[in-house]
Structure 1
């Protein structure tokens, strides 16, 4: 009976893996019918003396469930679905051969299951398989973690064959799986939530900056007719000095709504123009060159986060030094099918430990900036180079583009 309960536990873990790995259109009726069929198959196969047959049928059942109800493409899901069932079938068949369990049909009617220590080892092998599979799906699997988990589950899985402690080993193994899965899942959920909140705050900040520039432009255009009337009045009265002063004032006003950059890419233009307009208001000398295609394989949201954070950090660093020493240089281009972003800015001559080692002193969402840039660059399998020297800070980003883009030469 203990072995049969272990089989039911394995079925529950197997089902949990499918629901977590895929995107199943779940419903109480479908779930209940699938669960009852699975438990029935696992109960019937030992009555025939063929426990491995039960896992073959259960694997086919869950494979069919995935085919009909998983909203993700079946060619991308079937390998993940079949792997736990394959592990269970092979290990159960090996257990049958090792213990000498033979098929006997319905007569005599008796429940022929693997010895309890074997089913404990089988359950722990499944836990290890699912642990690695779920961690791989979330991008949390590393060689060290896989080796450590394997060693722990191996000890717990082998121990019941030499010591009369199968129930204790099963409890410890299942507890280990539950704790690790809970920790990794909630870590992933928290990371995704903080990332969404951070992206939302960045986009909101960008929107407000762009909205301010647009409203300034709209207001200037609205006053255009009035400005013309004033200029005509000064000319009619021969007030050339007043006319010159008025033109100077208009030129200064217009410079606040001027478009600094026209790279060819709308998102890059929006980010650069909003950030550079704020930098100019802070008396930062600007030098910007950007030439990009209209479409890039990098998503607009990711591009906004990467470029926006690099520029935010640059402006913040410039504010810490006297106005006469502030400068910001920006270069954006496509070089050999890679998006190249370069941001250089003035910095303090004397750097403390945190500044030399790129450790942020900021807290909250704003402090996630450079970390998020690093995560996105890694996501695109790109390259991030940071150089922090007395008097200057330089950041370079290279992102491979999936489709050929028009390359631009360095100036």
Structure 2
């Protein structure tokens, strides 16, 4: 391979990784790591070029530089193993297809001239990166945010594709793409594209299922809110009907000078009337609906609830995501209290807006032996209710969430960036 070919390949790899990989580091450190890995790959290629030729050079350089690429991606990636491998293998396949097509075109148009083929491969690589950034990047980001499970089958399929297409392309490159068979390659390409069509259809239905579960939770909360409002309305009508009798009793106490009895009666009447008032905790209607439902549920089960809410009407968080986060956290808190089986049960909810950040804290009574896996609560035989949905929705807003358990108290904290 020519000098310009070696430099262009590994520089474009570095750029591609920066565009494709969700790095756990800041931009500056990510660039440094990618530059260092590109330099290491170039060093391997230049060293091999001094001592090796032909097929040995092709296979050895590919294996070593591929290993460096894998180290780079897993060093940088903030995502799980399966998801990281899937996107990595997909990128490698696309690069190998580009290399094969550039080799064929270079063979036909430039009589296998190494420099011309290198420029052609770099051009195709740049064009595909531009297409990705312009048309596909946002869609891939949505998939990464919303699909949290089911990556391993797709990951394994992408690994098998990569192994096979690597062997085809390396054999062709070792022979400078002379005598390549066009039809088998394009049939292979068609099979791979069909496989990815199935994969992305699967992802589509996984996203649809995740969204449907959020919508169902929202509908459940709204229906429960409606039931609560209907109960309040019925109770209010009953109180209105009984109002005349209360006035007669009050008048009778006053006429008889029974002031102590009158005050006791008025206190009881005040408590009765207060219980029928609709709960209003904040200006945001979605948060108010969610709190109304779960505060009502908790009180019916003997759980003391304290709410400290300070938010505006608009908070920059989508209602569906708000339901997924707050609804699931409160549902978990009610379940946690009931599972604890303690005489004194409580839930504390604190929701605030500050410096363009939206924060939620939910603290509740819990049992002592709660297990955690990768920082997430794990109930026996199942994941905590809606935990993956909570995490996914929080991350969608550039936020973070943590869970903790100590001294019979379970605490969930989430912080998100509010969108304008």
TM-score, length-scaled by structure 1: 0.59
Unaligned runs of at least 5 residues, structure 2: 1-93, 114-123, 145-150
Q: Does 1:372 align with 2:374?
A: no
Q: Does 1:392 align with 2:394?
A: no
Q: Does 1:304 align with 2:306?
A: no
Partners of 1:307 and 1:268 lie apart in 2 by 8
Give the SS at the match of 2:171: helix
2:82 corresponds to: none
Contact 1:388 1:394 survives alignment (8 Å): yes
Q: What is the aligned counterpart of 2:352 among 325, 333, 338?
A: 333
Partners of 2:197 and 2:408 lie apart in 1 by 47
Partners of 2:317 and 2:375 lie apart in 1 by 30
Q: What is the aligned counterpart of 2:111 among 99, 102, 105?
A: 99
1:187 corresponds to: 202
Deviations 1:269-302 (A, max 9, x none): 1211221121111111122100101111111221
Contact 1:330 1:343 survives alignment (8 Å): yes
1:67-106 correspondence runs (5 A): 94-99=106-111
- How many aligned residue pairs are there? 293
1:225-236 correspondence runs (5 A): 225-236=240-251
Contact 2:370 2:377 survives alignment (8 Å): no
1:243–1:90 Cα change, 3 Å: farther
Deviations 1:184-212 (A, max 9, x none): x1332222221232122111211122112
Unaligned runs of at least 5 residues, structure 1: 1-82, 102-122, 404-411
Q: Does 1:175 align with 2:208?
A: no
1:4-43 correspondence runs (5 A): none
1:91–1:382 Cα change, 3 Å: farther
2:362 corresponds to: 343
Contact 2:403 2:411 survives alignment (8 Å): yes
Q: Does 1:267 align with 2:286?
A: yes
* RMSD over equivalenced CA pairs, Å: 4.4
1:218 corresponds to: 233
1:198 corresponds to: 213
Contact 2:366 2:410 survives alignment (8 Å): yes
TM-score, length-scaled by structure 2: 0.58
User: Relative to total residues, which structure has the larger helix share, 1 or 2?
Assistant: 2
Give the SS at the match of 1:348: coil
The Cα of 1:387 is off from its aligned counterpart by 1.1
Give the SS at the match of 2:317: coil
